[in-house]
Amino acid sequence: MNKKRILKGDILFSKNKEELVQIKDGYLLVDGESIVTVCKTKEEMPKDFEDILVEDYSEQLIIPGLIDLHVHAPQYTFRALGMDMELLPWLNRYAFPEEKNYKDTEYAKKSYQVFVEDLKNSATTRAGIFGTIHRESTEILMDLIEKSGLYAYVGKVNMDRNSPDYLIEETKESIEETKRWIQESKEKYKRVLPMLTPRFVPSCTAELMKELGQISKEQKLPVQSHLSENKGEIAWVKELHPETSCYAEAYDEFGLFGNEQNTIMAHCVYSALSEREMELLKQQKVWIAHCPESNMNLTSGLAPVKKFLKEGICVGLGSDVAGGTKLSIFSAMADAIRVSKLYKLYVDEEEDILTIPEVFYMATLLGGSFFGKVGTFENGYDFDAVILDDSKINQKGLTLFERLERVIYYGEQGMVVKKFVKGVEI
Ligand code: GUN
Ligand code: FE
Residues in contact with ligand 1 (CB, 6 Å cut-off) = 72, 87, 91, 95, 199-200, 226, 229, 294, 298, 320, 323
The 10s digit of each residue's pLDDT in 166-212 is 999 999 999 999 999 999 999 999 999 999 999 999 999 999 999 99
Pocket test for ligand 1, best of 132, 225, 229, 294 (most atoms within 8 A of CB): 229
Residue 31, pLDDT > 80, answer yes
CA of 191 from ligand 1 middle (Å) equals 25
CA of 320 from ligand 2 middle (Å) equals 5
The 10s digit of each residue's pLDDT in 323-356 is 999 999 999 999 999 999 999 999 999 999 999 9
Q: Which atom of ligand 1 is nearest to the CA of 300?
A: 9
Which of the four pLDDT bands, split at 50, 70 and 90, describes residue 368?
very high
Q: Which atom of ligand 1 is nearest to the CA of 298?
A: 9
Supply φ then ψ for residue 37, to 5 degrees: -170, 180
**Nearest-CA residue for atom 3 of ligand 1:** 199
Beta bridge partners of 227: 267
For the chain, give the percent of residues with pLDDT over 70.
100
Residue 241, pLDDT > 80, answer yes
Per DSSP bridges, beta strands 66-72 and 124-130 are parallel
Residue 2, pLDDT > 70, answer no
Report pLDDT for 361.
98
CA of 226 from ligand 1 middle (Å) equals 7
Q: How far is CA 286 from CA 225, 257, 279, 316, 372, in A?
A: 11, 7, 10, 11, 14
Residue 93 and residue 85 in contact, taking contact as beta carbons nearer than 8 Å: yes
**Nearest-CA residue for atom 9 of ligand 1:** 323
The mean pLDDT of 360-389, rounded to a whole number, is 98
Q: Which atom of ligand 1 is nearest to the CA of 229?
A: 10
Which of the four pLDDT bands, split at 50, 70 and 90, describes residue 63?
very high
CA of 163 from ligand 2 middle (Å) equals 16
Which of the four pLDDT bands, split at 50, 70 and 90, describes residue 406?
very high
Pocket test for ligand 1, best of 199, 225, 267 (most atoms within 8 A of CB): 199
Q: Which atom of ligand 1 is nearest to the CA of 202?
A: 2
CA of 56 from ligand 1 middle (Å) equals 43
* Average pLDDT, rounded, for the chain: 97
233-246 burial string, b = 16+ CB within 10 Å, else e? bbebbeebbeebeb
